[in-house]
Chains A and B, each alone.
Chain A
Amino acid sequence: MAKPLRIPLDDEEERSSFPLTEVVTSAVETSSASKLMLLFKDILPMDEDLGHLKRIRRVDNRLEIVLGRANLWESAQSSNEELLRTFNLNPVTVEVSSVEPRNKEEMEEMGQYWPVTYKPKRVRAPLPSEAEYEVMMEHARQIHIRSSSLEAGELCSTVAMIVDPKDGSIVSEGAVDTSDAISHAVLGCIRNAATVLSTRPGALYLCTGLDCYVVMEPCVMCTMALVHSRIRRTVFSQRNEVFGGLLRTKIHRERALNHRFEAYQVDLSCDDYRSS
């Protein structure tokens, strides 16, 4: 059985090397280094994209300080010429990593050019267990069977199903209404879930903790509807080439939003669900 594929983030994709860029640096007096650091924060602020670089490095008994990007140095220098002259700077161009490290190994490799800081990202949710995968595939097959009577959608999944992973029960279902441009299956499924859940005592806040199963990757509208609904996880098998909200646009992982959810793409092609 093919394992579901978690939609990776950009920063999780493999990389064997890292890009370099040029910055201008200068040796400075040890005694004036800390004063310079403070001053440079204001007059030569580091590029936000170079926030991973340490401002100062020690080489033997000397200190060297980053002045700024090489291609911007001319203009930065001319606007602060008098001030900079007082520090006896001796600008030298060096290569540094232009991206932040993803792990300690990269931090060390990058440090051979210029020291960088490594900030570990938040720990992600653990991958589901074998048993959980089985259940996930079972629901994915179920939604596929439901979709077989409908024509394949172009803009979004034609069917959707919201499941409570605690007991595997189906909370609600939805199907596309092609007479209307926005009556998508996922949106309908969320509506139906709201109706069902509001009658239950001690109701959940929206779809907290629930999973959504679709055939096609939900469109941008439906992906955001799932974010608004606090869905836990979305599972699909078919890529949405036109208006997908997960694979390319990654709205489910947008850090600016107040909720994020897991997304999995399952491969049912080697499965026997078609014959069932």
Chain B
Amino acid sequence: MDMEVNWMPVALQEGHEAIERGEVPIGCVYVSSDGIELARGSNRCNEMRDGTRHAELVAYEQMVLRMGTARVREEFSRGVDLYVTCEPCIMCCAALALLKVRHVVFGCKNEKFGGCGSVRAIHESRSTRIPGIVSVKGGVFAEEAIEMLQKFYTQENLNAPEPKKKRQRTLHT
């Protein structure tokens, strides 16, 4: 519980910074088994013109760049937890399973792409034999995460093809 109160605000902070850069505001932070921050990150899909640059992968890549693969592997073998503001998508959930992330704690649900139950449940699927992720917990600081996403979606995504005016959209708080 203390861990959630400590770390989810860090992930939220990352998400808020993504708004400034015109990215979908989802942020995350990886924490070691000793409770030390390993890496934090947020979406960079628009900036990199790459739909796979989700917060979870961006932060992981930062970690590898800073620490090197050998040390990263060592940390993951001891147990690494992830705090992310929105339910990881199918791709990220599979990545977290491959990395054997210990605990995944997320904020709001991801109805469009969610891999932890919303669209698919990758971490508990019997058809995939990856004995990754130990536990998944959602709904942690969910309201804050949703508010952040709403704030973003009332703006316009200039990178989407044929952008449409969003006259109808107002922020309800």
Q: Which residues of A line the B interface, CB within 8 A? A: 155, 179-182, 187, 190-191, 194, 197-198, 203, 205-206, 219-222, 224-225, 227-230, 242-243, 245, 248-249, 251, 254, 256-258
Can you name the residue of chain B whose Cβ is closest to the Cβ of A184?
B98
Can you name the residue of chain B whose Cβ is closest to the Cβ of A203?
B49
The CA-CA distance from A251 to B64 in the complex, in Å, is 28
- CB–CB A230/B51 < 8 A: yes
B154 interfacial by beta-carbon distance below 8 Å = no
Chain B nearest CB: distance from A175 CB in Å? 16
- CB–CB A225/B91 < 8 A: yes
In the complex, 25 of the A-B residue pairs with CB atoms within 8 angstroms, ordered by the A residue number, are A179-B69, A181-B100, A182-B98, A187-B52, A194-B49, A194-B50, A197-B49, A198-B49, A205-B160, A219-B94, A220-B94, A221-B91, A221-B92, A221-B94, A221-B95, A221-B98, A224-B91, A224-B94, A242-B128, A242-B130, A243-B98, A251-B90, A256-B112, A257-B112, A257-B113
Contact with A along B113-149 (1 / 0, CB 8 A): 1010001101001011110000000000000000000
The CA-CA distance from A92 to B160 in the complex, in Å, is 57
Contact partner of A243 (CB less than 8 A), chosen from B57, B89, B91, B129, is: B129
The CA-CA distance from A18 to B131 in the complex, in Å, is 37
* Residues of B contacting A228 in the complex (Cβ-Cβ under 8 angstroms): 51-52, 89, 91, 113
* Residues of B contacting A191 in the complex (Cβ-Cβ under 8 angstroms): 50, 52
B171 interfacial by beta-carbon distance below 8 Å = no
Q: How many residues of B contact A (CB 8 A)?
A: 35
- CB–CB A254/B120 < 8 A: yes
* Residues of A contacting B69 in the complex (Cβ-Cβ under 8 angstroms): 179-180
- CB–CB A220/B52 < 8 A: no
Within 8 A of A (CB), among B101-121: 112-113, 115, 119-120
Contact partner of A258 (CB less than 8 A), chosen from B49, B60, B112, is: B112
- CB–CB B89/A224 < 8 A: yes
Query: Contacts A224-B89, A224-B115 hold; do A242 and B129 have CB atoms under 8 A apart?
Result: yes
B1 interfacial by beta-carbon distance below 8 Å = no
The CA-CA distance from A182 to B93 in the complex, in Å, is 12
* Residues of A contacting B120 in the complex (Cβ-Cβ under 8 angstroms): 249, 251, 254
* Residues of A contacting B57 in the complex (Cβ-Cβ under 8 angstroms): 182
The CA-CA distance from A93 to B25 in the complex, in Å, is 55
Query: Contacts A179-B69, A182-B60 hold; do A206 and B94 have CB atoms under 8 A apart?
Result: no
The CA-CA distance from A248 to B72 in the complex, in Å, is 32
Chain A nearest CB: distance from B53 CB in Å? 8
The CA-CA distance from A230 to B50 in the complex, in Å, is 10
The CA-CA distance from A226 to B166 in the complex, in Å, is 28
- CB–CB A256/B48 < 8 A: no
Chain A nearest CB: distance from B17 CB in Å? 21
- CB–CB A249/B127 < 8 A: yes
* Residues of A contacting B119 in the complex (Cβ-Cβ under 8 angstroms): 254, 256-257
- CB–CB B60/A206 < 8 A: no
Chain A nearest CB: distance from B55 CB in Å? 13
Query: Contacts A249-B128, A251-B120, A254-B120 hold; do A180 and B91 have CB atoms under 8 A apart?
Result: no
* Residues of B contacting A249 in the complex (Cβ-Cβ under 8 angstroms): 120, 125, 127-128
* Residues of A contacting B161 in the complex (Cβ-Cβ under 8 angstroms): 205
Known: A221-B92, A230-B51, A257-B112. 7 other contacts (CB 8 A): A155-B130, A194-B50, A220-B128, A224-B94, A249-B128, A254-B119, A254-B120
* Residues of A contacting B92 in the complex (Cβ-Cβ under 8 angstroms): 221
Query: Contacts A182-B60, A229-B51 hold; do A224 and B129 have CB atoms under 8 A apart?
Result: no
The CA-CA distance from A229 to B52 in the complex, in Å, is 7
* Residues of B contacting A242 in the complex (Cβ-Cβ under 8 angstroms): 128-130
Contact partner of A206 (CB less than 8 A), chosen from B51, B90, B98, B99, is: B51
* Residues of B contacting A245 in the complex (Cβ-Cβ under 8 angstroms): 94
* Residues of B contacting A190 in the complex (Cβ-Cβ under 8 angstroms): 50, 52
The CA-CA distance from A225 to B50 in the complex, in Å, is 10
Chain A nearest CB: distance from B9 CB in Å? 27
* Residues of B contacting A222 in the complex (Cβ-Cβ under 8 angstroms): 91
